[in-house]
Each structure stands twice: as structure tokens, then as C-alpha cells.
């Protein structure tokens, strides 16, 4: 039972981090209808900046710099690539982001090499003891920070001018433009926000119990894709639910691997994808996604 | 067939036949990889280019083809790492491996038929991870991390391998495994290309393009959209399987790690760079993407910015990856038709200059030739 609770809390904490990534992914999709496969590299950039600057600047300044760096990069991708690509088919735009991803990931993994970079976070490897239950402090920080950021984001999405503009654009881009919403600014803002969210997620992905930022981080970040898809690509609620489902599944399957060994080694890494496939079989638009209806 | 097309085909065919007599083994190997990649890319282009269904799981089907062939053709081995195998005749094994890839694609069809575009892209991402998981666990089939050797193909007593005791020499050139496989590769590529061209130009091709351009219109006009999507997915997986078999034969050793996400992404890069939705585009893109790292490696000392292996800096393999990533972006931004589109544009311009004024009058109405 204790193991179960520990795994559950861990899973929720990881899930909150996945939700951060998935949220950025969904925001980009809503604002520009682009499935952003370069999201993992945005995350890598954020983590890389934090890792490289935290010794000189101190952790908090480095974190801000990482968030800003990833946000600027996201905005740049939107400004230089997505906005210029004049294509009808949105699958092609998705492939462009794959091109961007290949370039960024190759260069960054080359920079990182075989090193494991520490991010200099204040939580270290301390563990919180609640009775018999042991939970790393870093995971609790991840859970709290992710929840706070997600809540702030959702409130902003609902009540600020920026959020209203974004939702209006997602609903009907042309009408929104006629009402005076600047589409360019909205989509650039979406990419910037997604970049910052990804950078924050990078931080929490690379601190205890993971050893640090290394070249496999992008593969881990890939698990946020099923989170976004199984929740529904156009639903912020879906991103949260998807993130939590994926996080908890991964944590439980990984934790009980001993009992599940007949299914094969390394099941924790595939479990998110299996869950996604099962959900998609039943609900092709994801749990909370709007089913596409068309009037002819 | 116009006269210039005929001349081009003859020139290409002559070049393909002559090449193994002049180029050394490493070039032949690169060429064979490019052919295998071209077969796989044709399949992906049917799916992504012509039908608009994004697939990031193509590498999975290559793996199914490669390991399927090895499993069907090998004899079981006992020992510390016991390997399974059926020991079937190799041509049968090759055909079965392609069919197996098709079956794998068919098993995925409940999803492939219902999802579209980028949704399917992420769903197929699952195939890569599931594939890696299965390959690292099914060690009796795949040989685990180090892979397993591939038995050479043998058709009617003719072995596609080096035969030191009975060397085959044609026109003074010893014909080893690569030279023999070269011709097999050409035949396979030609067959794959012609079949795909037939599919694209005929009724199914029209249906696929309509699904890509307007799904509802396609449905209204009587195209069974879901069935077509599933069917194209299966066909494209079979192309992937065939490419996998050829890669296994050339490599002579199959390694699970090779069939990862990077491979799947490079296939998408191929069809974008070459040109979406056509056979020639897939072939051009495949040659571009698979020859690029080798060209850069070979001339790394002559090129600026690229260092020799082992030194600090951008290596040839990384430079090639960055280059084809950039090429994808540049092509989408500036060359909507890919390299094939560029070639066609140049040809049109030259033709127009040669044919001068009168011909221009008719070019106002688009014909199938000018549109593609």
C-alpha cells in the first residue's frame, strides 16, 4: 500500500510535468493548427540554458533565462518558419516542425555529448518523510509548481485579453481578425508561452530522481505527445487529464515492473503509448477533444 | 511516352547497368541503401504525400520486414543465446516478410482508418516505441541488442552473396554480394516504382488525392474513405517491409537500434525534400537523404565547418542531419513541389524557351502534365 501511494504521488507529479508540455502543445495547436513536433527540442533548449548558466547566475536567474530563451526560440520558429510557410495542408506544417526538430536536437545533443548536466536546483536529493511514506522533495516541488503554473495559465486563458483573443482565434480565425484580433501576435504569443512551459517542464524532468539533463531527455519528452493526443489535441482540460493519466500509468507500470516482468522489460516506457492506442480505439478524437463535424 | 522521356529512361537504365562495373564496393553499398530507402519512401509517399496521412512509424515496418525475413529464413540456433527460425527457402521468406509487414499494418488499421493527418502521426509514433520494446524483448527472433546475421537470398541456386570457391566474374569484374544485390535492388525498385505509379495514376490514386484534398467531398463522391485509408496504410507498410528486407540483405546483420525514430523522421524528410505525392519525388528525396551523410564523410577534409571523425566539432553524420533538417524547412518555405518540382519548373522554362511563342498560347489551360 505504501509503495502504491508513493508511486501514485510520483506519478501525479510526473503527470503534472507532462501536462505542462502537453498544454503548450495544445495551445500551439489551438492558435495555429500546427502539430508541433519540435516541442521536445524547445524543452531541450530550455533545459540546456538552465544547465549552462546556473553556475554563473544562480539557479533562479538561470531558470528565468531558460524560460525566456525557450519562449524566444518558440516565437522565432513561429515568426521565421510557420508564418512564412504558405501551405494548405497542415500535415506539411507538422513535417516542417519535424525538420526544425531535427536541426535543433542534433545540434543540442552534440553540444551535450555524453555528459549529464546538473541543473543546480535547490531541492537536491532531499526526501520528505510522511509517516512511512517517502517522497522526494523535488517531486513535490514539481507538483506544486506545475499546478500553480497550470492554474495561472488557465485563468489567464479564460479572463485576460490575451486569452480571449487566443480563444477567439481558435474558434474562428477570420472573424477574430475582423474583430481586431492580431492573428500574428496571437500565434507568436502561443508559441512563446508553449516554449516557456516546455522549459519549466525540462527543469522538473531533469531533477531528482533523474540524474540530470542528458541526450535522452527528448525521448522522455516524447511521452507528452500521447498525453496531448489522448486528452484531445484541442482541449486544455484534455492536456491535464492526459498528462496525469500518462504520468500515473508510467509510474505504476514502472514501479510494479517486478510483477509485470512476464510482459517484458522496459514496459514503463511503452505503457503511455499503449494507453494512447487503447483510448484512440474507443474515442478517435481523444477523451475531451471535439469530434469534428462538418456541414456540407 | 514522349521521346525525351524515352531517352532519359534509356540513359538511366544504361547507367544503372554500367555502374557496378566501375564503382567500388562502398559506393555500391551506399547506392543499395539509397535504393532500399527509395522503396520505403515510395510507400510512405503513397500514404503521406498522396493520401495526406502522416506516419511517423514507417521505421517499424522496415523492422518488421527485416526481422521477418531473418526469422523466416534462418535455421534455429541452439546455445547460450538460442535463436529461433523457420529455415524456409529464402525467396519464400522474403515474400512472407513483406506480407507480414502488411499484416502488421492491417492490425493497426482500426486506428489508421479512423484518424487523419497529424493525429495519426502521433498515434504511429507509438509503433516506434512498441517496436523498440518488442525487439529488445523478443531476443529469440531479433537476437537482442546486437541483432543477428542475415542469411543471403538464393533464387534458383543463384546466391546473392560472396562465393569465394566459385567466383562469378563478368567482363573482368568479380561479382560479389553487392554487385549481385545491385541488380536485385534495381529490379525491386523498378517494380515498386511502376506499381506505385500505376496506383497513383489510376482510380485509386484519384481517390487518394481526393481524400487528401477534401475528405467530405471524397465521401460524397462515393469513395469509401476509411477503407481507402486502411488500404493505403497496409500498402505503405508492405513497401516498408520490402525496404526492410533489402536493407537486411545489404547490411548482412540486422540491429534493432537502427529502426528508431531517427530513421522514421529521415523517411519523412525524404518525401518532403523530393516532392510529395509522386514516385519520382520519393526516389529523388531518398537518394538525397541517404547519400548526403556519405558524401559529407567522404569529403569531410575538403569541406569547411566539418571535422574529421574523432575531433571536436560538427561531425559529418551530424552535419548531414542538420543539413537535411534545414532542407526540409527550406523546401517547404521556398520549393512547394520539392526537388522534383524544381526540376519540372526548370524543364518547363527550358522547353518554353526552345519552343518560343506559339506554344505559350495553349499553356493557359492546365493539363495533367503542367499541373504536376
Reported ipTM: the value is 0.84
- CB-CB: which of A35, A273, A284 is closest to B129? A273
Cα atoms in the 13 Å half-sphere on the side-chain side of B17 = 7
Q: Which chain B residue is nearest to residue A111, measuring alpha carbons?
A: B313
CATH class for domain B26-334?
mainly alpha
The answer to which of A118-127, B7-16, B65-74, B350-359 has the lowest mean pLDDT is: B350-359
Q: Say if residue B293's pLDDT is above 60.
A: yes
Average confidence (pLDDT) over B65-73: 90
A92, A277, A296: residue with CB nearest B123: A277
CA distance B241 to B69: 9
Pairing of strands B253-254, A127-130: unpaired
Chain B residue set in contact with A, beta carbons under 8 Å = 48, 52-54, 110-111, 114-115, 117-119, 121-123, 125-126, 129-130, 133-134, 136-137, 212, 216, 220, 261, 265, 268-269, 272, 276, 314-315, 318, 321-322, 324-329, 332-333, 336
Q: Using CA atoms, how far apart are residues B315 and B151, in angstroms rounded to an integer?
A: 33
| pLDDT tens per residue, range B177-232 | 788 888 889 999 999 999 999 999 999 999 998 988 888 888 888 889 889 999 99
Is the pLDDT assigned to residue B367 strictly greater than 60?
no
Nearest CA in chain A to B129: A270
Locate the domains of chain B by residue range.
Answer: 26-334
* Least-confidence region, from A44-58, B1-15, B105-119, B232-246: B1-15
Task: Say which DSSP state A82 is in.
Answer: I
pLDDT in tens, B295-335: 887 776 666 666 665 566 677 778 888 888 898 888 888 88
pLDDT at B105 over 80: yes
Burial A241-266 (b: 16+ CB within 10 A, else e): bbbbbbbbbbbbbbbeeeebeeeeee
The reported pLDDT for the residue numbered A296 is: 62
Q: How far is CA B178 from the centre of its chain?
A: 18
Comparing CA positions, the residue from B291, B295, B254, B289 lying closest to residue B269 is B289
Question: Are residues B133 and A226, on separate chains, in Cβ contact within 8 Å?
Answer: no
Percent of chain B surpassing pLDDT 90: 23
Confidence category of residue B97, pLDDT binned at 50, 70, 90:
very high
Tally of CB atoms within 10 A around B360 = 10
Highest mean pLDDT (candidates A106-115, A206-215, B9-18, B157-166): A106-115
Q: Is the pLDDT of residue A287 over 60?
A: yes
- Write the pLDDT tens digit of every residue in A86-141: 666 677 788 888 889 989 988 888 888 888 888 877 777 778 887 777 888 888 88
Contact B333 A85 (CB under 8 A): yes
Is residue B359 over pLDDT 60?
no
All three cell numbers of B105, joined, read 499494418
Give residue A95's pLDDT: 82
Q: Looking at A78-87, A174-183, B272-281, which range is the least confident one? A: A78-87
Judging contacts by C-beta atoms under 8 Å, the chain B residues touching residue A35 are 117-119, 121-122
Residue B324: closest CA among A101, A58, A83: A101
DSSP SS3 for A79: helix
Of B228, B217, B320, B263, give the one whose Cα is nearest residue B55.
B263
Supply the pLDDT for residue B188. 92
Distance from CA of A265 to the nearest CA of B (A): 7
The pLDDT score that the predictor gives to residue B63 is: 92
- Per this entry, what is the length of chain A? 296
**Residue B239, pLDDT score:** 94
Q: Which of B123, B261, B271, B319 to mutate to test the interface with A (most CBs of A within 10 A)?
A: B123
Measured CA to CA, the distance from residue A97 to residue A93 in angstroms comes to 6
Nearest to A87 by CA among B124, B329, B365, B364: B329
Position A56 pLDDT exceeds 70 = yes
CB contact under 8 Å between B133 and A266, yes or no, is yes
pLDDT tens digit sequence for B232-261 = 999 999 999 999 999 999 888 888 888 888
pLDDT of residue B155: 78
Return all residues near A26 (Cβ < 8 A) that are at least 6 apart: A228, A231, A233, A234, A235, A236, A238, A239
| Average pLDDT of the residues in B283-295 | 87
* pLDDT of residue A207 exceeding 60: yes
Q: What is the average pLDDT across B25-30?
A: 84
By DSSP bridging, strand B148-149 and strand B158-159 are unpaired
The pLDDT, as a whole number, for residue B87 is 75
The helices-and-strands tally (H runs, E runs) of chain A is 12, 2
Please give, rounded to a whole number of angstroms, the shortest distance from the CA of B371 to a CA of chain A: 16
- The secondary structure of B94-145 as a DSSP string is HHHHHHHHHHHHHHTHHHHTT--HHHHHHHHHHHHHHHHHHHHH-HHHH-GG
User: Can you give the pLDDT at residue B365?
Assistant: 44
Query: In chain A, which residue's Cα lies nearest the Cα of B220?
Result: A296
- The pLDDT of A231-247, averaged and rounded, is 88
Q: What is the mean pLDDT of residues A252-256?
A: 84
Better pLDDT: A53 or A125: A53
The answer to whether the CB of A223 falls within 8 A of the CB of A250 is yes
Answer whether A98 sits within 8 Å of B212, measured CB to CB. no
Confidence (pLDDT) at B243: 94
Kindly report the average pLDDT of chain A as a whole number. Answer: 85
| Residues listed for chain B | 372
Q: Which residues of A90-110 are buried (b: 16+ CB within 10 A; e: fewer)?
A: bbbbbbbbbbbbbbbbbbbbb
Closest residue to A106, CB basis, from B114, B118, B325: B325
Residue A130 is inside which H or E element, if any? strand A127-130
- Write down the pLDDT at residue B304: 65
pLDDT digits (tens, 9 = 90+) for B107-141: 998 888 888 777 888 888 889 988 888 888 887 77
> Residue B59: is its pLDDT beyond 70?
yes
According to the model, what pLDDT value does residue B372 have? Answer: 44
Q: Where do the domains of chain A lie?
A: 2-220
User: Which residues touch B268 (CB under 8 Å, ≥6 apart)?
Assistant: A95, A98, B44, B48, B54, B56, B58, B328
In this prediction, residues B35-52 reach a mean pLDDT of: 91
Is there a contact between B272 and A95 if contact means CB atoms under 8 Å apart? Answer: yes
Q: Do A100 and B321 touch (CB under 8 A)?
A: no
Nearest CA in chain A to B277: A92
Q: Which residue from A minimizes the CA distance to B338?
A: A92
pLDDT of residue A259: 75
Tell me: pLDDT of A228 over 80. yes
Of B134, B268, B326, the CB nearest to A95: B268
pLDDT surpassing 60 at residue B358: no
**What is the Cα–Cα distance from B186 to B160, expressed in whole angstroms?**
14
pLDDT for B194 equals: 92
Q: What is the rounded (10 degree) CA torsion for B219, B222, B227, B231?
A: -110
Q: Quote the pLDDT of residue A68.
A: 94
Per-residue confidence (pLDDT) for residue B79, from 0 to 100:
64
pLDDT score of B189: 92
Sign of the Cα pseudo-torsion (A33, A37, A42, A43, in order):
positive
Amino acid at each position: 500500500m505504501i509503495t502504491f501511494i508513493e508511486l501514485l504521488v510520483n506519478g501525479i507529479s510526473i503527470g503534472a510535468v507532462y501536462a505542462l508540455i502537453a498544454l503548450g502543445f495544445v495551445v500551439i495547436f489551438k492558435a495555429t493548427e500546427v502539430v508541433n513536433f519540435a516541442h521536445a527540442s524547445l524543452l531541450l533548449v530550455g533545459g540546456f540554458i538552465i544547465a549552462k548558466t546556473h553556475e554563473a547566475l544562480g539557479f533562479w536567474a538561470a531558470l528565468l533565462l531558460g524560460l525566456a530563451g525557450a519562449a524566444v526560440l518558440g516565437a522565432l520558429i513561429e515568426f521565421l518558419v510557420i508564418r512564412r510557410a504558405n501551405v494548405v495542408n497542415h500535415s506539411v506544417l507538422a513535417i516542417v516542425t519535424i525538420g526544425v526538430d531535427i536541426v535543433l536536437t542534433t545540434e543540442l545533443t552534440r553540444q551535450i555529448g555524453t555528459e549529464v548536466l546538473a541543473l543546480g536546483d535547490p531541492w537536491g536529493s532531499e526526501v520528505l518523510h510522511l509517516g512511512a511514506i517517502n517522497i522526494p522533495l523535488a517531486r513535490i516541488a514539481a507538483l506544486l509548481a506545475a499546478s500553480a503554473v497550470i492554474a495561472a495559465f488557465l485563468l489567464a486563458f479564460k479572463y485576460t485579453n490575451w486569452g480571449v483573443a487566443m480563444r477567439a482565434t481558435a474558434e474562428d480565425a477570420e472573424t477574430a481578425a475582423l474583430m481586431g484580433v492580431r492573428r500574428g501576435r496571437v500565434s507568436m504569443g502561443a508559441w512563446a508561452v508553449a516554449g516557456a512551459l516546455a522549459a519549466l517542464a525540462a527543469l522538473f524532468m531533469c531533477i531528482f530522481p533523474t540524474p540530470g539533463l542528458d541526450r535522452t531527455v527528448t525521448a522522455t519528452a516524447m511521452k507528452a505527445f500521447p498525453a496531448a493526443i489522448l486528452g484531445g489535441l484541442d482541449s486544455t482540460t484534455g492536456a491535464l487529464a492526459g498528462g496525469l493519466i500518462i504520468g500515473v500509468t508510467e509510474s505504476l507500470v514502472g514501479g510494479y515492473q517486478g510483477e509485470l516482468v512476464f510482459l517484458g522489460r522496459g514496459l514503463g516506457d511503452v505503457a503511455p503509448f499503449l494507453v494512447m492506442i487503447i483510448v484512440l480505439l474507443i474515442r478517435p478524437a481523444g477523451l475531451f477533444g471535439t469530434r469534428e463535424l462538418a456541414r456540407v | 511516352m514522349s521521346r525525351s522521356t524515352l531517352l532519359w529512361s534509356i540513359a538511366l537504365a544504361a547507367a544503372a547497368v554500367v555502374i557496378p562495373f566501375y564503382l567500388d564496393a562502398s559506393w555500391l553499398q551506399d547506392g543499395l541503401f539509397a535504393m532500399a530507402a527509395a522503396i520505403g519512401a515510395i510507400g510512405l509517399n503513397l500514404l503521406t504525400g498522396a493520401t495526406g496521412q502522416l506516419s511517423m512509424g514507417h521505421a517499424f515496418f522496415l523492422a518488421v520486414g527485416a526481422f521477418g525475413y531473418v526469422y523466416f529464413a534462418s535455421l534455429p540456433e541452439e546455445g547460450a543465446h538460442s535463436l529461433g527460425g523457420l529455415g524456409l527457402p529464402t525467396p519464400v521468406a522474403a515474400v512472407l516478410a513483406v506480407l507480414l509487414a502488411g499484416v502488421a499494418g492491417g492490425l493497426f488499421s482500426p486506428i489508421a482508418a479512423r484518424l487523419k493527418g497529424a493525429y495519426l502521426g502521433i498515434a504511429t509514433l507509438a509503433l516506434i516505441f512498441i517496436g523498440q520494446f518488442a525487439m529488445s524483448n523478443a531476443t529469440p527472433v531479433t537476437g537482442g541488442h546486437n541483432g543477428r546475421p542475415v542469411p543471403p537470398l538464393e533464387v534458383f541456386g543463384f546466391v546473392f552473396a560472396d562465393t569465394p570457391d566459385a567466383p562469378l566474374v563478368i567482363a573482368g569484374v568479380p561479382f560479389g554480394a553487392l554487385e549481385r544485390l545491385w541488380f536485385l535492388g534495381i529490379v525491386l525498385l523498378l517494380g515498386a516504382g511502376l506499381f506505385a505509379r500505376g496506383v497513383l495514376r489510376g482510380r485509386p490514386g484519384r481517390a487518394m488525392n481526393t481524400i487528401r484534398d477534401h475528405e467530405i467531398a471524397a465521401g460524397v463522391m462515393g469513395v469509401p474513405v476509411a477503407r481507402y485509408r486502411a488500404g493505403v496504410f497496409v500498402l505503405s507498410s508492405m513497401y516498408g517491409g520490402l525496404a526492410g528486407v533489402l536493407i537486411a540483405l545489404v547490411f548482412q546483420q540486422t540491429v534493432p537500434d537502427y529502426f528508431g525514430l531517427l530513421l522514421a523522421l529521415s523517411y519523412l524528410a525524404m518525401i518532403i525534400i523530393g516532392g510529395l505525392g509522386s514516385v519520382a519525388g520519393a526516389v529523388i528525396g531518398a537518394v538525397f537523404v541517404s547519400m548526403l551523410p556519405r558524401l559529407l564523410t567522404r569529403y569531410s577534409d575538403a569541406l569547411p565547418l566539418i571535422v574529421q571523425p574523432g575531433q571536436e566539432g560538427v561531425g559529418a553524420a551530424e552535419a548531414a542531419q542538420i543539413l537535411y533538417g534545414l532542407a526540409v524547412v527550406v523546401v517547404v518555405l521556398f520549393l512547394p513541389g520539392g526537388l522534383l518540382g524544381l526540376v519540372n519548373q526548370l524543364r518547363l522554362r527550358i522547353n518554353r524557351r526552345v519552343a518560343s511563342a506559339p506554344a505559350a498560347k495553349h499553356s493557359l489551360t492546365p493539363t495533367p502534365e503542367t499541373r504536376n
